Structure 1
């Protein structure tokens, strides 16, 4: 089992020392949140809170995802970085491929690309991307990303993207894992068909087992059940040794852990020292007990 340290919507000056502390404590990865804009008015709701309230996001600081990964990568040497999740279809996939390839080159392949559909129509609007057929756009963006990060000449002719034979340099010396986020059946099928893994977004604890069962069924349908596949999950079971072992038995490969409720309105007032204390205590009480 691997462990990903999750911290977001906090003082931006905390991220680099937290990355160093997580690496020293034995975490395998740091998750990196993605947010573009906060609209003044919106009818959209957040899919992973009980009432759909999104007001907790207002005035929260989000450093651009790839900028933050590059900064944390520069002050660490072994820990990986996992966007959780990058809103891929609102971005040009050619640019995303270039950014991710550059990160992989500079960090020694320490990037796993979590991707998902933004739940906010406003993200699409401000980026000049249609909301309609966003799922198909996402599929094509993943295919373009994979092709361009493969190292050779690549061309693509789809509904949304059309590329002549082109290549990028430098290319990653190892494939960048594409981890698909989302709980909808379409997202699970996309993960089964196109992904190297799936990222669970939290929410109702009782939904994890049915989601894992559906994902396994879809991988069998898509003929990908024998392919290496990562499952990144959020669960209360992650906080005990016995719970971690139960999750491992269910096929979970990576556990995403955090030590405060990120959905609280207003600023994060927890000091950096306390955050480091939390992550170190968990590493001592759980990670050290289940990691060889």
Structure 2
């Protein structure tokens, strides 16, 4: 089992010391959140809170995802960075490929590219991208990012994107794993058919079990049951050694852990020292025991 440290919507100056501390403590990955804008008015609800309220996002400092990863990569040596998740469907995939390849080339391939849709129609509006058929657009974007990141000539002729034969350089030292986030049936299938793994965003444990079972069925149907495949989940089981074993038995490869409830209005008041103490304590009580 690998462990990803998750912290978001906090003081931006905390990220560099937290990344260094997580690396030193033995975490495999550091998650980086993605957010573009906060609309004054919206009918949308947040899909991962009980009441769907989105007000906790207002005035939160979100550093642009690739910018933050580049900065954190410069002050670390081993830990991987995983967008959780990049809103790929609203971005130009050629630019995303260039950004991801540049990050991977600079930091020695320490990037797991978590991607997903956006629950906010306003993200699509301000980026000039239609909300309709966003899933199909996402599929094409993944294909383009994967194709260009090989560093070889690549062309693409789809419904939304049309590329002549082009190449980008430098290519990353290893293929960039594409991890698809989302809880819908379409997201699960997309993670298998087009991705290298799946990212879970939390919720009811029984729902997680059902999604893991469905994921296993899709991998079998698509002939990918024996292929390498990353499964990243948020689960209370990740906080005990017995629970970690249960997750491993279900096919989970990466546990995403955090140590505070982030869905609060207003600023994060938890001191940096407390955050570091919490991540180090977990490393001592869980990571060291399951990895030893």
**Same fold by TM-score greater than 0.5:** yes
The match for 1:27 is 27
Of 244-253 and 216-225, the range deviating more from structure 2: 216-225
Of 66-75 and 198-207, the range deviating more from structure 2: 198-207
Q: For 1:1-292, list aligned pairs within 5 A.
A: 1-292=1-292
**Cα shift at 1:205:** 2.4
**Cα shift at 1:68:** 0.3
CA–CA distance in structure 1, aligned partners of residues 24 and 5 of structure 2: 12
CA–CA distance in structure 1, aligned partners of residues 132 and 224 of structure 2: 28
**Cα shift at 1:220:** 1.3
CA–CA distance in structure 2, aligned partners of residues 265 and 204 of structure 1: 23
SS in 1 for 2:96: helix
CA–CA distance in structure 1, aligned partners of residues 277 and 16 of structure 2: 15
Which consecutive unaligned segments of at least 5 residues does structure 2 have? none
Q: Any idea what the Cα deviations from partners look like across 1:210-249, whole Å, max 9, x if unmatched?
A: 0000011111122221211000000001000110111011
**Cα shift at 1:26:** 0.3
Q: Any idea what the Cα deviations from partners look like across 1:179-198, whole Å, max 9, x if unmatched?
A: 00000001011111111000
CA–CA distance in structure 2, aligned partners of residues 14 and 173 of structure 1: 29
CA–CA distance in structure 2, aligned partners of residues 243 and 226 of structure 1: 24
CA–CA distance in structure 1, aligned partners of residues 225 and 56 of structure 2: 38
Equivalent residue pairs, number: 292
CA–CA distance in structure 2, aligned partners of residues 219 and 50 of structure 1: 30
Q: Any idea what the Cα deviations from partners look like across 1:43-67, whole Å, max 9, x if unmatched?
A: 0011111111111101111000000
Q: Any idea what the Cα deviations from partners look like across 1:25-81, whole Å, max 9, x if unmatched?
A: 000000000000000000001111111111110111100000000000000000000
CA–CA distance in structure 1, aligned partners of residues 278 and 155 of structure 2: 47
SS in 2 for 1:4: strand
Normalised to the residue count of structure 1, the TM-score between the two structures is 0.99
CA–CA distance in structure 2, aligned partners of residues 226 and 160 of structure 1: 32
Normalised to the residue count of structure 2, the TM-score between the two structures is 0.99
CA–CA distance in structure 2, aligned partners of residues 10 and 173 of structure 1: 32
CA–CA distance in structure 2, aligned partners of residues 133 and 227 of structure 1: 29
SS in 2 for 1:244: helix
CA–CA distance in structure 2, aligned partners of residues 22 and 271 of structure 1: 16
